[in-house]
Amino acid sequence: MTESIPPNFPPPLIPVEIISEEEMALIEAAFAATTKYLSSRSSLPSASQSQRNGKSIGTIPLNTKRRLSGCSESDNNLTSTDIEDLVGDSKNTQKKKLKVFDTFLHRFRRKRGLAITDITATEWCEKQMEFVLLRGKPKATRAMKAGTARHTKLEQEVIKRVEVRVEAAEDAWAVRLMNFISGTNQLLFEGLTRELPVIGCVDGVWMVGVIDEIRMPVTDTSRNPIFVDTKTRVRATLPSGPQTRNGRLQLMCYKYLWDSLVKDDFSARSFLSFFGLNPHYTLSVEVQQHASSSGFPAKTLEDLLAYFRNTCLMLPLADEQLLLRYEFQGDQSLLGEDNFTYDHTWLIGQIKYCLEFWLGEREADFVPQEERWKCRSCKFASVCSSFATVDSRSIYREE
């Protein structure tokens, strides 16, 4: 059972919040400060970014020098923090308040969480991600539409979509939890499922994603699910090093979230607080009917969270081996496969570095010189200060 909303599943109904004049003044001040801050940035890429993106996929160091606070329930409740920060008139309190509102995470992903695609898009090019947030996402290209159509076709091979009308954010999340339960049941009994939603907390930031495909091994010696992601290619060639690195990052993120759920690292209290959900909300009649017909009757969101947690505890950890498949869009022929091993240390370092951008700890970096060929397909190249300083030969030279 799935709902008819995009895979990044932002809640279809956002609760209306009433804020004070003081809060509104602070928001406007933060926005003005951000605009001035962005317009005065340097056009030169930093050395740290060049070192990070410039490394090859086979020589990724197993350490990181960047630090971020650990995951805690207090970190996840920005709404509570905002209210507490309003108490007092000290300059330090004022500055702290402005910093919270000034982060991209709070401005654009509050009560939604970061999508795994946000992480991969940030790793691909932080300046491009910044432009998307501030100027809007460009229209999908023909290649992007073809890729979406291919994934829809793959999903339809094993999953039947059922329309479910939702009336509140709690209903929408209930459907996602039901999708996870149904999908994992399909995986355990049939050995295959696709488009499975996952959620987890990394360093105090809630993240969401949709796993392309999960397979159960056919041998009895191993019962660890194998994660698979299919990438479509416009050209009948295998991807470059940076593209491979980006795809690997995506699959590793999915395994991290899955394993966290299996290890019972999911905090219902923190989840409800971050997304502003009421656990005692009575689900819509339609959602209740679908839950009951699926074998887990529930009246409230809290009921479904209990089913969700029990399901997670019965699942095995994901396999250490992950698989990327590359297909040619022209005839859907297989170009090749990238079977690689999960690298936890490298993954956490990459996520933390991306979060520094989302949490306002540093400015957005440009891609390193050797990866400036990415600018060729960027819709923001004409307004990016980095593009004007790039040697044209480096723009069109792909790895």
Return the CA Rg of the chain.
22
pLDDT of residue 263: 96
Task: Determine contact, residues 103/299, Cβ cutoff 8 Å.
Answer: no
Give the chain's largest Cα–Cα span: 65
d(CA 384, CA 378): 10
Query: Structure pTM?
Result: 0.74
Q: How far apart are CA 329 and CA 142, in angstroms?
A: 11
The tens-digit pLDDT sequence of the chain (399 residues) is 544 444 444 444 333 333 444 444 444 444 444 444 344 343 333 334 434 544 434 333 333 333 333 344 333 333 333 322 333 343 444 444 444 458 999 999 999 999 999 999 999 999 999 999 999 988 877 788 888 888 888 888 887 888 899 999 999 999 999 999 999 999 999 999 999 999 999 988 999 999 999 999 877 778 899 999 999 999 999 999 999 999 999 999 999 999 999 999 999 999 999 999 999 999 999 999 999 999 989 999 999 999 999 999 999 999 999 999 999 999 999 999 999 999 999 999 999 999 999 999 999 999 998 999 999 889 998 888 776 555 544 444 444
The number of residues making up the chain comes to 399
- Per the CB < 8 A criterion, the answer to whether 209 and 257 are in contact is yes
Beta bridge partners, 337, equal 325
